[in-house]
Amino acid sequence: MTRNSPVAAASGEFVLGGALTVRRLGFGAMRITGPGIWGPPADPDEAVRVLRRAVELGVTFIDTADSYGPYVSEGLIRTALHPYPDDLVIGTKAGFVRTGPNEWHVVGHPKYLRQEVEMSLRRLGVERLELFQLHRIDPAVPLGDQLGELRMMQQEGKIGQLGLSEVSVEQIRQAREIADIVSVQNLYNLMERRSADVLDYCAAEGLGFIPWYPIAAGELSGTVARIAAAHDATPAQVALAWLLASSPVMLPIPGTGSVAHVEENTAAAQLTLSDEEMRELSAG
């Protein structure tokens, strides 16, 4: 598969903030790290192959964060892909500190956020972070201080577009009074739809909605398996196809540390579900 016949192109495109065009099916670079999203992966060479294969398959949006490793994911992305293709958008995040495997602590102090932006620039080998998302809003720090610092770095040319992660509709509205917001990254999948109101808001306002942990079937496993069999597809592909068909602002970012799985996930861009299949899945 070459860049000239990209599988991911079938997912369509979305323009973030009127400036960044990405293919809607992207790649999440969290799971190219070690267990507990801590330390390096067991096979760094395979992680590099995964990233390169994703780009070969036509992925133009990679989501990462300083806390993935920490710092490991961004470093692997640079190793695998720098100098980057002109159409590749790398979105990164900050707002968590790590103290061990599966341990995450919110920190949104302006000086800390500035430090992490500067370090992400260095690790990724770029002069500007085209998409930077506040990984979590720190309740102990005024939102205006957190976003104000990020907007200042935007004005300095170090950040292109700004996004948020794990927020409510009201928090998005508050944030947009302080800075231009182009994307929202919340937990959302077949089984977890508590952010449906956020998705609806993003669709109405033209904001990109990036569902993290996009592949989950749970109690719908029987229905998903039946639909997958009818298409000679996998349940993961059905879950991703459902997301893509659910909203034009949906930007799924399935992640994996396996080349075989990145090929399987990206092929979901070519899976078309019927109206009846969409109703069955959505009713669950």
Which residues carry out catalysis?
Answer: 68
- How far is Cα 102 from Cα 107, in angstroms, rounded to an integer? 16
Query: Which contacts of 9-12 are long-range, i.e. CB under 8 A and separated by 24 or more positions?
Result: 9/58, 9/269, 10/269, 10/270, 11/244, 11/269, 12/244, 12/248
Packing angle between helix 143-155 and helix 169-176, nearest 10 degrees? 50
Q: What does R_g of the chain's alpha carbons equal in angstroms?
A: 18
Distance of CA 118 to the CA centre of its chain: 21
164, amino acid identity:
L
| 51 φ/ψ angles, rounded to the nearest 5 degrees | -60, -45
